[in-house]
Amino acid sequence: MQYPLLLLLLVTIILWLPPTSSLDATNSTTKKRREVISGRHAAVATDDGRCSRIGMHVLREGGHAVDASVAAALCLGVVSPASSGIGGGAFMLIRLASGEAQAFDMRETAPLLASENMYSSNTTLKGKGALSIAIPGELAGLHKAWKQYGRLPWKRLVSPAERLARLGFKISPYLNMQMRRTESGILADEGLRHVFTSNGSLLKTGETSRNWKLAQTLRDISNFGPRAFYNGSIGSKLVRDIHKVGGILTMKDLQNYRVKLSKPISYDTLGFKILAMPPPSGGPPMILMLNILSQYGNVSGVSDPLWVHREIESLKHVFAVRMNLGDPEFVNVTNVLADMLSPKFAEELKKTIYDNRTFDPSHYGGRWNQIHDHGTSHLSIIDNKQNAVSMTTTVNGYFGAQILSSSTGIILNNEMDDFSIPGNDSTVPPPAPPNFIRPGKRPLSSMTPTIVLKDEQLKAVVGASGGGMIIAATAQVLLNHFARGLDPLSSVMAPRVYHQLLPNVVQYENWTTVTGDHFEVPAQIRKALHKKGHVLDPLSGGSICQFIVQQIEALKNNGGTREIVAVSDPRKGGFSSGFCNWGVGLGTTELKLVIAFVPMLVFFPLVHS
Ligand SMILES: *[C@@H]1O[C@H](CO)[C@@H](O)[C@H](O)[C@H]1NC(C)=O
Ligand SMILES: *[C@@H]1O[C@H](CO)[C@@H](O)[C@H](O)[C@H]1NC(C)=O
Ligand SMILES: *[C@@H]1O[C@H](CO)[C@@H](O)[C@H](O)[C@H]1NC(C)=O
Ligand SMILES: *[C@@H]1O[C@H](CO)[C@@H](O)[C@H](O)[C@H]1NC(C)=O
Ligand SMILES: *[C@@H]1O[C@H](CO)[C@@H](O)[C@H](O)[C@H]1NC(C)=O
Ligand SMILES: *[C@@H]1O[C@H](CO)[C@@H](O)[C@H](O)[C@H]1NC(C)=O
Ligand SMILES: *[C@@H]1O[C@H](CO)[C@@H](O)[C@H](O)[C@H]1NC(C)=O
Ligand SMILES: *[C@@H]1O[C@H](CO)[C@@H](O)[C@H](O)[C@H]1NC(C)=O
Ligand SMILES: *[C@@H]1O[C@H](CO)[C@@H](O)[C@H](O)[C@H]1NC(C)=O
């Protein structure tokens, strides 16, 4: 008679024990953060918790990871409009459960009327306003990926974003910070002013913003697909608005826009296979950084300051090489790409790194000046069938060109700023010809969506936002976890350093975020770097990373279940969302309650009969 009760007690106790996983955040101060979830079978990590949740609901309804990325990306375009939207472009990396992988290049493209000297060396014109707008690609790419892999109806994926735009959404602390930094631009543009101000001043955190026109646009897109945008009424309204402010985009530009599909770059390093976007993305530079650091072999005896020094020196080499890249349809990048993916090349570069000092930029052999790109938003997704999406999307600078098309509600990108332009000869070193403007060309990008495999099994999905700092951040997070053995949350939380060769300065995080977290590179590391000759500048900002890791080791013991840990970088205030296969959408706690109480209902009458 006592057996069922004892059994029940035992089951309850076991279920109540905390999940044990080597991947769990081990640091007690960071364990309880809502930015990290574990023990799920599917997860969505984005810059904004609202969009992670929308993506997760799509997965729960049986949607593919691609379905979730469409819904989440369109959501980000509404609630995080300073960083992304259908007026911008993106890179999307897909890896299916079957092992097939594909790269979608939906990056913005130079209009047909653009030309190498269209700015007469005026970098202000390139960076802001009507002439900085390139042909948007995000919507075309999302739709193409959905047509290929999507399982849920297109309308179902567009409607959450449409609803947010129509009913309004609360301004997040991060968006409010972006608005304050762009205040004069917002006040100067009628469209932006309409959506982001009230009574002449910026909306505050927590206040509601509505974008009726964007809601209408999204409704048309949900009914008619991207045709309405690239060859229909939305497109003609957009072109008209752009012309009114002096832009050169035409209907023909929109009609000609093409999403480019290719095989991802695949590279074995550190005992893993890295899948990354081909050029003009930040993928090859990021791989080169991993490549150089992997040449050092066993890292377990390396002190933190020395490790960080080597990371910085690798970055300086990476940025020297990367400006030889450009749009592969216009520039022959065969040789430079082969170098970046060559262990021998990395070994040669490593030989010129000294553990006791840094050098002037000329030491690293860079021939061209750097571009400094901005903005962006990243999402990482694994669905419960093991399909994965890593997508980075952007309008470039905060609020792109700082123009909102009044008749469509769409914020326009300033992606032309990512091209290099011929300067007045005073610039040393000169701008990079492989990245000069041509009609129909796509500018160089730092965006680095990445997928990691171990023995052909999905191991991690990662990527970051933050312009030129994306390459360093993605590599540092991967190295923290896969080379230095930090748990996923600590890998993301670790303070970061950035270097782009020019200027010859280490930017170290000293950042109190809008949500009150403080990230600061420890004094001991700064002191050691200073001694080696580095010039250090504090940085109150940087890159934001979305990192999902899958524990596949357990799969090998028969009967083991795979487990996902998803981390949204707290630096932007986002959080991730996920669910378990068996507990359709329930959190682990709810699940334990259900499992514990169902037997009780069954056994209780038995015991007392
Ligand atoms: C946990 O993380 C915090 C913040 O990153 C750090 O200050 C603390 O030293 C860490 N504790 C342990 C035990 O590692
Ligand atoms: C560059 O363009 C901006 C915007 O039109 C203008 O204000 C500025 O004077 C120009 N600079 C030069 C050097 O021509
Ligand atoms: C570049 O030089 C040209 C001619 O010397 C001059 O008109 C132009 O304003 C210069 N542009 C900038 C950005 O300095
Ligand atoms: C708008 O601003 C004016 C002048 O600052 C003020 O008098 C008025 O009360 C404000 N209206 C609202 C609705 O806040
Ligand atoms: C644009 O739409 C027209 C009909 O409205 C069609 O004939 C044409 O083929 C379309 N062009 C493209 C590029 O889709
Ligand atoms: C790395 O070196 C440490 C000692 O410094 C050693 O304990 C460890 O086994 C080594 N790891 C590998 C993979 O060789
Ligand atoms: C690109 O360069 C490589 C190496 O120099 C050469 O083999 C290849 O033919 C070139 N490709 C094109 C399309 O010119
Ligand atoms: C720095 O290291 C290099 C190579 O290991 C060595 O030749 C040089 O003497 C060192 N310089 C100093 C100042 O220690
Ligand atoms: C970090 O920033 C704070 C606030 O701006 C400043 O007071 C502090 O000195 C900075 N510390 C370092 C190491 O840069």
Residue 595 or 441, more confident: 441
Can you read off the two tokens belonging to residue 377?
């938003």
Residues recognised as catalytic: 376
Ordered alpha helix ranges (H), 190-302:
190-196, 212-224, 227-230, 233-244, 251-256, 283-294
What's the confidence (pLDDT) of residue 366?
Answer: 85
- Which of 232-237's residues contact partners 24+ apart within 8 Å by CB, and which partners? 234/408, 234/410, 237/405, 237/407, 237/408
The residue nearest atom 7 of ligand 9, judged by CA position, is: 510
DSSP letter (8 states) at residue 540? S
The closest residue, in CA terms, to atom 10 on ligand 8 is: 356
pLDDT over 90 for what percent of the chain? Answer: 80
Atom of ligand 6 nearest to the CA of 298: 1
Choice among 10-14, 81-85, 92-96 with the minimum mean pLDDT: 10-14
Asked whether 72 and 55 are in contact (CB, 8 A), the reply is yes
Q: What separation in Å is there between the alpha carbon of 299 and the centre of ligand 6?
A: 8
Query: Where residue 140 falls among pLDDT bands split at 50, 70, 90?
Result: very high
Cβ(179)–Cβ(205) below 8 Å: no
Q: Does 122 contact ligand 2 (Cβ within 6 A)?
A: yes
- Residue 11's pLDDT band, with cuts at 50, 70 and 90, is low
Contacts of 14 (CB under 8 A, 6+ apart): none
Indicate the burial class of 599 (C-beta count within 10 angstroms; 0-12, 13-18, 19 or more).
middle
* pLDDT of res. 424: 72
Interval 456-512: pLDDT, tens: 999 999 999 999 999 999 999 999 999 999 999 999 999 999 999 999 999 999 999
In the predicted model, is pLDDT for residue 587 greater than 80? Answer: no
Question: CB within 8 A of 438, min separation 6: which ones?
Answer: 110, 114, 115, 116, 330
What's residue 358's pLDDT? 97
Q: Is the dihedral of CA 135, 288, 507, 365 positive or negative?
A: negative
Sign of CA dihedral 587, 589, 590, 592: positive
Given ligand 7 and candidates 334, 337, 339, which is best to mutate, with the most ligand atoms within 8 Å of its CB?
Answer: 334
pLDDT tens-digit series, residues 384-402: 999 999 999 999 999 999 9
Which atom of ligand 7 approaches the CA of 332 most closely? 1
Q: Is 424 in the pocket of ligand 3 (CB under 6 A)?
A: yes
pLDDT in tens, 565-576: 999 999 998 888
Which pLDDT score is estimated for 300?
Answer: 83
357 Cα to the center of ligand 8, angstroms: 8
At 289-342, the pLDDT tens digits run 999 999 999 888 899 999 999 999 999 999 999 999 999 999 999 999 999 999
33 Cβ closer than 6 Å to some ligand 1 atom: no
What is the pLDDT averaged over residues 136-153? 98
HEC string for 544-603:
EEEEEEEECHHHHCCCCCCEEEEEECHHHCCCEEEECCCCCCCCHHHHHHHHHHHHHHHH
Q: How far is the CA of 232 from the centre of ligand 5 (A)?
A: 9
> What is the rounded average pLDDT of the residues 429-447?
96
Q: Please give the pLDDT value at position 203.
A: 98
- CB distance 167 to 210 below 8 Å: yes
Q: Report whether residue 354 contacts ligand 8, using a CB cutoff of 6 Å.
A: yes
DSSP 8-state class, residue 246: T
Pocket test for ligand 3, best of 122, 125, 424, 425 (most atoms within 8 A of CB): 424
Inform me whether the pLDDT recorded for 71 exceeds 60: yes
Measured between alpha carbons, how far is residue 452 from residues 103, 106, 385, 457, 475 in Å? 14, 22, 17, 9, 12
Mean pLDDT of the chain: 90
Greater pLDDT, 601 or 38: 38
Write the secondary structure of 363-418 as one string of H (helix), E (strand) and C (coil): HHCCCCCCCCCCCCEEEEEECCCCCEEEEEEECCCCCCCCCECCCCCCECCCHHHH
Q: What pLDDT digit, counting tens, does each position of 15-66 carry?
A: 444 443 333 334 444 556 878 888 778 999 999 999 999 999 999 999 999 9
Nearest-atom index, ligand 5, CA of 255? 13
Measured in angstroms, how far is the CA atom of residue 560 from the centroid of ligand 5? Answer: 53
Distance from C-alpha of 588 to C-alpha of 317, rounded to nearest angstrom:
46
Q: pLDDT at position 586, please?
A: 42
Phi/psi at 356 (nearest 5 deg)? -105, 0
